[in-house]
Amino acid sequence: MIKNILVPLDGSDHSKAALEYGLWMAEKFSGTLFGQHVIDTVSIEGTFFHDISGSLGFEPYLDFSTKMREVLEERGKAILEEFSQRCRQKGIRHETFLDMGIIPNEICERSKVADLVTLGHRGINEEFSSGLLGGTAESVTRKCPRPVFVSTKRFKTIERPLLAYDGSQRASSAMESAAEFCTQLSLPLTVLYVPKEEKVGEKVLQEAKSYLGSYGIETRYELARGYPEQKIVDYLVNFNYDLLFIGAYGHRRIIEMVLGSTTEYVLRKSPCPVFLNR
């Protein structure tokens, strides 16, 4: 059950949309929101100074000028105060954290107090980034020990979730999250499987039917042919699904480095938020 939601905040439009999703879920689940802002030591001091200070045994932030640190702290406090105001307006329990360090590492560390991390697809420096997925989001989705909800740039109420299921352990975790989510919000759920062999596909979908049957939610099951990553995105686009549940990074890391992964492709191409489970 989702009760504690961590929302990393950097003041960007993507971050503000992630907060809207966080507020919406906290309201629906009667949960608590944790707002986090991380003062990024690497981007301020530069990777060179970070590497040198690390090799000498010094923490990077020790090289900050007093004035620079004050400016960054004030900006962080302003972002967190805006977060607190939004929570107070909606009557949602909340807490704030102003952390300092390497952003993805700090998010993953702080996630230990949460059931779910909700963050934007891109960050404050999106115009300077290459590719379609922000570096922080990609790093967090790979390393975070908790489920991660990667939001789109604009908030939209969730009404039509899709579960990408392949029978793997991580897909089973995603199915559990999808079942609880849809049960709590009285939403229908579509389960999609893109198998290599049709006979195997029927067996895997039967497993999903057996599991989801006890939840009493409205379900439908789809068996599609083709490349899984492309079919998943096609379904999201063509049938107007507004949330995808999927297991995170199913291959071994070396395979992902060479070939990429279904998860990474879907994250980059998805027109809607993605809920990732390990």
List helix spans (H) across the chain: 13-29, 41-45, 47-55, 66-90, 103-110, 135-143, 169-185, 198-212, 228-238, 253-259, 262-269
Distance CA 5, CA 214 (A): 26
Domain count, the chain: 2
Same domain, 139 and 219: no
Last residue of a domain, which of 93, 117, 151? 151
Residue type, 45: E
Tell me, yes or no, whether 156 lies in a domain. no
Same domain, 146 and 169: no
Cβ neighbors of 48 (< 8 A, separation 6 or more) are none
Please report the pLDDT score of residue 230 as a whole number. 92
Cβ neighbors of 240 (< 8 A, separation 6 or more) are 160
Please report the pLDDT score of residue 250 as a whole number. 52
Last residue of a domain, which of 86, 116, 151? 151
Please report the pLDDT score of residue 211 as a whole number. 97
Same domain, 205 and 117: no
Residues of the chain with pLDDT under 50: 47-50, 52-53, 56, 123-133, 251-252, 254-260
Last residue of a domain, which of 151, 186, 205? 151
Please report the pLDDT score of residue 157 as a whole number. 96
pTM for the model: 0.85
For 181, the domain range is 161-277
Please report the pLDDT score of residue 60 as a whole number. 53
